[in-house]
C-alpha cells in the first residue's frame, strides 16, 4: 500500500474565529479522523466549533512533544504508511512556520507520503502584507535572544542590514516580554527605521501600526500579553 497524505490544516489564530478558515478547508477537515496536534485541547475545541461529524470517541488526536516532535513518531507513522489520511494542526494559524510541525512535514516527505497545504491565516505573513514594509526581501527570526546584551547586539545587526539592503526583519515575542522588547528597540535602533506592530491579528481588537522609531518614541503601545508580530524595515 502506498503511504497516505499529511494534510497541513490551518486553524484560527484567535480562538473561535472560525470564519477565517475557508469553507473548502473545513470540508476537508471534516473528512479526516486522525490528527497530529501541537495541543490536543485546542484541536478538540476547534473540531467542535466546526461541527466535525464524528464524536471524539471516533477521532484520534496525537499530541506532539514540542521539544522532540519525532520522539513518538511510530504512533502516527504506522498509520501514514498504511495509507491513512492524517491532519496536522498548529496551536494557532497555519502549521510549519515557527512551529514544531515542520519536522513532521519533513519526515513525511522522507518516507514518500504526500504533503498537502491548505489556505489559512498566518499572523507572520498577514503582518508583513499589511505593514507597508519590504515584502520582496525579508528575514524571519522567530524569537530574538533572551539575554539583554544578545538582543541589543542582534538588533544592531538588524539595523545595519536594514540601512544597507532595505531588508525587512520579522520576529515574534513571548507576549509578556512585548513591552520590554519595544523599549529595547526604541533605545537601540536609528530613528529613521520603521517599526510595524501587528497585534491580535484577525481578532476583534486587531491593530496594525507602522511608524518610524522617531514617531514611536514617547508612546507606550498596548502590547501586554497580546500576541504581536514585530517587523523592522524601511518604507518603500
Query: What tens digit of pLDDT does each residue of 155-209 get?
Result: 999 999 999 999 999 999 998 999 999 999 999 999 999 999 999 999 999 999 9
Q: All domains of the chain, ordered by start, with CATH?
A: 5-117 (3.40.1010.10), 123-233 (3.30.950.10)
Interval 124-145 mean pLDDT: 96
Burial 188-227 (b: 16+ CB within 10 A, else e): bbeeebbbbbbbbbbbeeeebebeebeebeeeebebeebb
pLDDT value of residue 20: 97
Q: Which residue has the higher pLDDT, 65 or 51?
A: 51
Q: Is the pLDDT of residue 33 over 80?
A: yes
Q: What's the pLDDT band for 70 if we cut at 50, 70, 90?
A: confident
CA 114/CA 121 separation, integer angstroms: 22
Pick the residue with more confidence: 49 or 224? 49
Say what the pLDDT of residue 6 is. 97
Q: Is the dihedral of CA 175, 177, 183, 187 positive or negative?
A: negative
Q: Using CA atoms, how far apart are residues 63 and 131, in angstroms rounded to an integer?
A: 34
Q: Are 140 and 170 in contact (CB under 8 A)?
A: yes
> Is the pLDDT confidence value at 1 over 80?
no
pLDDT of 227: 94
Predicted pLDDT of residue 17: 96
Please tell me the distance from the alpha carbon of residue 44 to that of residue 55, in angstroms, as a whole number: 10
Largest pairwise CA distance in the chain: 64
Q: Across residues 86-110, what is the average pLDDT?
A: 94
Residues 6+ apart with CB under 8 A from 118: 7, 8, 9, 10, 22, 25, 28
Predicted local distance difference test score (pLDDT) of residue 154:
97
Residue 230 to residue 145: CA distance in whole angstroms: 14
Q: What pLDDT, on a 0 to 100 scale, did the predictor assign at position 73?
A: 87
Which pLDDT band holds residue 68 (cuts at 50, 70, 90)? confident
Q: Which residue has the cell 475557508?
A: 22
Average pLDDT over the chain, rounded to an integer: 95
Dihedral sign for Cα atoms in the order 141, 146, 150, 155: positive
Portion of the chain with pLDDT greater than 70, in percent: 100
**Closest Cα to residue 170, out of 129, 120, 200, 202?**
129
pLDDT of 69 higher than 90: no
Amino acid at each position: 500500500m502506498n503511504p497516505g497524505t499529511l494534510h497541513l490544516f490551518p486553524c484560527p489564530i484567535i480562538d473561535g474565529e472560525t470564519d477565517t478558515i475557508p469553507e473548502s478547508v473545513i470540508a476537508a477537515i471534516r473528512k479526516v479522523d486522525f490528527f497530529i496536534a501541537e495541543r490536543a485541547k485546542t484541536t478538540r475545541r476547534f473540531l467542535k466549533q466546526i461541527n466535525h461529524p464524528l464524536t471524539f470517541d471516533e477521532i484520534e488526536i496525537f499530541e506532539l512533544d514540542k521539544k522532540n516532535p519525532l520522539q513518538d513518531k511510530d504512533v502516527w507513522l504506522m498509520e501514514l504508511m498504511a495509507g491513512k489520511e492524517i491532519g496536522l494542526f498548529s496551536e494557532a494559524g497555519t502549521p510549519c512556520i515557527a512551529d514544531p510541525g515542520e519536522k513532521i512535514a519533513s519526515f513525511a516527505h522522507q518516507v514518500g507520503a504526500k504533503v498537502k497545504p491548505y489556505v489559512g491565516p498566518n499572523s507572520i505573513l498577514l503582518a508583513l502584507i499589511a505593514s507597508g514594509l519590504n515584502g520582496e526581501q525579508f528575514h524571519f527570526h522567530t524569537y530574538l535572544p533572551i539575554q539583554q546584551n544578545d538582543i541589543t547586539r542582534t538588533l544592531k545587526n538588524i539595523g545595519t542590514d536594514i540601512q544597507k539592503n532595505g531588508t525587512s526583519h520579522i520576529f515574534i515575542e513571548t507576549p509578556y516580554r512585548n513591552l520590554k522588547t519595544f523599549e529595547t528597540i526604541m533605545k537601540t535602533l536609528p530613528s529613521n527605521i520603521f517599526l510595524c506592530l501587528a497585534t491580535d491579528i484577525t481578532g476583534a481588537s486587531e491593530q496594525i501600526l507602522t511608524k518610524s522609531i522617531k514617531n514611536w518614541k514617547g508612546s507606550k503601545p498596548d502590547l501586554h500579553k497580546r500576541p504581536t508580530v514585530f517587523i523592522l524595515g524601511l518604507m518603500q
